[in-house]
């Protein structure tokens, strides 16, 4: 019998897909060696989750380390690209994550739980 285990963890919001007014997914990051790295993407947000997050998002200024587009799949095997809407990496969200990691990132999509206004990016463990 195969049983999936998901654990709650916090990640930094580095980008979203969709738009700032109506984010569709969160592109999650963490800081490693002083650089913000992409570690995963959430499943689609509900309308309520998207509305709450949209109120807090701020567009990124110059110098954001992430590319404008990424492969649509975690492993980069897809030729389709997803456009990122980069944001200031100041928000922390709680997600449910599968324990499976690949090259320091989550192999499976994350599940958005809630915005953590009580935490800062410095509180997120790499």
**Residue 59 maps to which CATH number?**
2.40.50.140
How far the first Cα of the chain sits from its last, in Å, is: 32
- Average confidence (pLDDT) per 10 residues, the chain, 126 residues: 79 97 96 93 96 97 92 63 94 90 82 97 91
Query: Rounded distance, CA 124 to CA 69, Å?
Result: 25
pLDDT at 108: 85
Query: Rounded distance, CA 105 to CA 85, Å?
Result: 20
pLDDT at 52: 96
| Inside any domain, residue 16 | yes
| Inside any domain, residue 1 | no
| Inside any domain, residue 37 | yes
Q: Cite the beta strand spans of the chain per DSSP E.
A: 6-18, 23-32, 35-41, 69-71, 81-83, 85-86, 92-98, 101-102, 105-106, 111-115
Q: How many structural domains compose the chain?
A: 1
Q: Which are the contacts of 45, defined by CB distance < 8 A and separation ≥ 6?
A: 23, 24, 25, 26, 53, 112
pLDDT at 33: 92
pLDDT at 78: 58
* Domain that residue 19 falls in: 6-118
| Inside any domain, residue 97 | yes
pLDDT at 70: 85
Query: Rounded distance, CA 16 to CA 25, Å?
Result: 6
């Amino acid at each position: 019998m195969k049983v999936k285990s998901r654990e709650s963890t916090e990640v930094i919001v580095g980008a979203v897909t969709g738009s700032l007014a109506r984010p569709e997914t969160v592109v999650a990051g963490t800081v490693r060696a002083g650089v913000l790295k992409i570690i995963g993407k959430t499943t689609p947000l509900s309308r309520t989750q998207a509305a709450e997050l949209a109120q807090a998002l701020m567009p990124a200024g110059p110098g954001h380390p992430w590319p404008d587009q990424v492969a649509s799949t975690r492993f980069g095997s897809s030729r389709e690209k997803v456009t990122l809407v980069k944001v200031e990496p100041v928000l922390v969200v709680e997600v449910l994550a599968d324990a499976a990691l690949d090259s320091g990132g989550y192999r499976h999509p994350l599940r958005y739980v809630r915005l953590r206004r009580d935490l800062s990016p410095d509180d997120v463990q790499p």
